[in-house]
Amino acid sequence: MQTVATPHPVISGTFLPQNSASKLPNRTFPAGDLKAAREVRKTKLALWATLDLRQDFADDGWMRDHIKAAGLRVPNQMEPATVTRLRRMLTRAKVAGVEIKDSLGTSLAGFLKLNGRLPLWAALALVLEATGRFTLKLVNYSQPYPTKTHETP
């Protein structure tokens, strides 16, 4: 029987010291062992529940609409934002690294360092909003806002 390494809920983002994640023991379980996989998932969710992540935002609906407009889904609101997970989600939305850095003014790691208490869904929504690509879908505009063009003589 083939064995698969147990995925660890190691959090690679920057958090406050009291939010540091503890590693689970390195175990293996047979491939297809749903009971073991459920236990790992349950442990991961329990760990995420202990983190002090901000969950209340004044524009909660607007932020979640950005995620929907990008065609993404974040299944657990308690999942902490990590650079790896955030980059993977942004890749699915076809948002390139250069565009992210231009929109945020810093890298994803720098953004998460400045906003250490954000859950994944909130960090994702803020980055999507900063790019401005999905805001037009939310307000039902088919064209970007008109901008003044300066003609050179």
Q: Is residue 143 predicted with pLDDT exceeding 60? A: no
Share of the chain above pLDDT 70, in %: 67
In which band, very low, low, confident or very high, does the pLDDT at 33 lie, cut at 50, 70 and 90? confident
Residue 80 forms beta bridges with which residues?
A: 119
10-14, 21-25, 54-58: range with highest mean pLDDT: 54-58
Determine if the pTM surpasses 0.85. Answer: no
Three-state SS sequence of the chain: CCEEECCCCCCCCCCCHHHCCCCCCCCEEECCCHHHHHHHHHHHHHHHHHCCCCCCCCCHHHHHHHHHHCCCCCCCCCCECCHHHHHHHHHHCCCCHHHHHHHHCCCHHHHHHHCCCCEHHHHHHHHHHHHCCCHHHHCCCCCCCCCCCCCCC
Q: How far is CA 74 from CA 79, 115, 128, in A?
A: 8, 18, 14
Cα–Cα distance for residue pair 142/127, rounded to 1 Å: 21
Cα–Cα distance for residue pair 17/19, rounded to 1 Å: 5
pLDDT at residue 64 in the model: 85
Exposure b/e, 17-56, CB count within 10 A at least 16 = b: eebebeeeeeeebeeeeeeeeeebeeebeebbeebebeee
